[in-house]
């Protein structure tokens, strides 16, 4: 696996560099949730990614250690799967099971703003 030169070691910067464009996110989504593994399957996604863009994103994802290719099939690496499984927000595949705040806990424009008094 060849790593591209990074401008920063910051994990947020890394995430933005790797996943910062819509096509990359869609490729990862298709690998993760739609079980698309071949170039042709990824190319046939409803969003209509161009062949050159798909090829570029697959190369970049492989260089960054996000995917691995074997026998003309792409898969997410074990390291990425492990990292995603450690986050409870990810386990529900999209947020349906996220810990929802009660209606009373949500910010509301109708609520009165309460000011705290500071004593000196």
- Nearest Cα neighbor of 90 from 104, 103, 76 is 76
The yes-or-no verdict on residue 1 having pLDDT over 50 is: no
Mean pLDDT of the chain: 75
| Greatest Cα pair distance in the chain | 71
pLDDT at site 92: 52
Query: Could you give the CA distance from residue 44 to residue 46 in angstroms, rounded to a whole number?
Result: 6
Report if pTM > 0.75. Answer: no
Segment 46-63 shows an average pLDDT of 93
The yes-or-no verdict on residue 73 having pLDDT over 60 is: yes
Query: Could you give the CA distance from residue 92 to residue 97 in angstroms, rounded to a whole number?
Result: 6
pLDDT in tens, 12-50: 777 777 777 889 889 989 998 999 999 999 999 999 999
pLDDT at site 74: 94
> From 3.30.479.30, 3.40.50.261, 3.40.50.880, 1.10.10.10, which CATH number describes the 11-91 domain?
1.10.10.10
């Amino acid at each position: 696996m060849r790593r591209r030169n990074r401008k920063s070691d910051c994990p947020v910067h890394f995430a933005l560099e790797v996943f910062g464009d819509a096509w990359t996110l869609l490729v990862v989504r298709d690998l993760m949730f739609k079980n698309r593994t071949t170039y042709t399957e990824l190319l046939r996604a409803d969003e209509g990614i161009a062949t050159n863009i798909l090829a570029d994103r697959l190369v970049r994802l492989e260089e960054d250690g996000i995917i691995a290719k074997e026998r003309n099939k792409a898969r997410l690496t074990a390291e990425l799967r492990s990292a995603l499984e450690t986050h409870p927000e990810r386990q529900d595949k999209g947020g349906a099971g996220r810990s929802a705040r009660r209606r009373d806990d949500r910010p509301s424009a109708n609520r009165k703003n309460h000011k705290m008094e500071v004593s000196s």
